[in-house]
Chain A
Amino acid sequence: KAGVTQTPRYLIKTRGQQVTLSCSPISGHRSVSWYQQTPGQGLQFLFEYFSETQRNKGNFPGRFSGRQFSNSRSEMNVSTLELGDSALYLCASSLAGTPTSTDTQYFGPGTRLTVL
């Protein structure tokens, strides 16, 4: 099975711009979660999508948003970029039919976003 794929792998933007990142989950996986990784804050949960609905959300400002399509592919969007948004954005997928599922989350390679 193909793993989680993320596009693009690298992205450079300037402050004030917006950006859209894409994630394709493992075939058959219906849950997609997004995480932000920075040297200072480590790995932080952004949000989780399941069946095209945001099921859980971390503590990030409203500039961070996402969506999931009927084929389980997901996108996240960051508007009005700030320097502090520079990070590795990781997408993870799992079967996760219910919130209490013990399914494993499998991660993609990430998108490295640099904001200048």
Chain B
Amino acid sequence: AQSVAQPEDQVNVAEGNPLTVKCTYSVSGNPYLFWYVQYPNRGLQFLLKYITGDNLVKGSYGFEAEFNKSQTSFHLKKPSALVSDSALYFCAVRVTNQAGTALIFGKGTTLSVSS
């Protein structure tokens, strides 16, 4: 079965420090991976995606993610955290079949950045 795991329910970092939100996946075939962020009472905002090519993907708001095929991981990173980065982060993998597509999401990781 295809799945995504986010092993940490919560990540706490101090403002200005680097942050990492972890994601591992299990899919058959080539993985199409995504990161989304959700602020309270809002929908999901797209941050970045990995389709193919360079293992380091740059996205919105200074976020980047590193794809590691051997470790089946797609960790989200940011060199210097901001208080405004505090939110719920979701990793997702796109699964396709002959019929259509769907995103399978991890359980989400709450990022808390303290000032």
Contacts and interface: CB of A to CB of B under 8 A. Distances in A.
A56 B45 contact: no
Contact count band on A? 20 to 34
Interface residues of B, number: 27
A101 B101 contact: yes
Contact of B51 (A6, A55, A102, A107): A102
B96 interface: yes
A56 B101 contact: yes
B101 A43 contact: no
A104 B59 CA distance: 13
B63 to A, nearest CB: 15
Interface in A18-47: 31, 33, 35, 42-45
Contacts of A33: 101-103
Interface in B38-68: 41-46, 49, 51
B99 A56 contact: yes
Contacts, number: 69
Interface in B71-115: 90, 92, 94, 96-108
Interface string A70-107: 00000000000000000000101000100111101111
B34 interface: yes
A8 interface: no
A37 to B, nearest CB: 9
Interface of B: 32, 34, 36, 41-46, 49, 51, 90, 92, 94, 96-108
The 4 closest A-B pairs by CB, nearest first: A56-B100, A55-B100, A43-B105, A45-B102
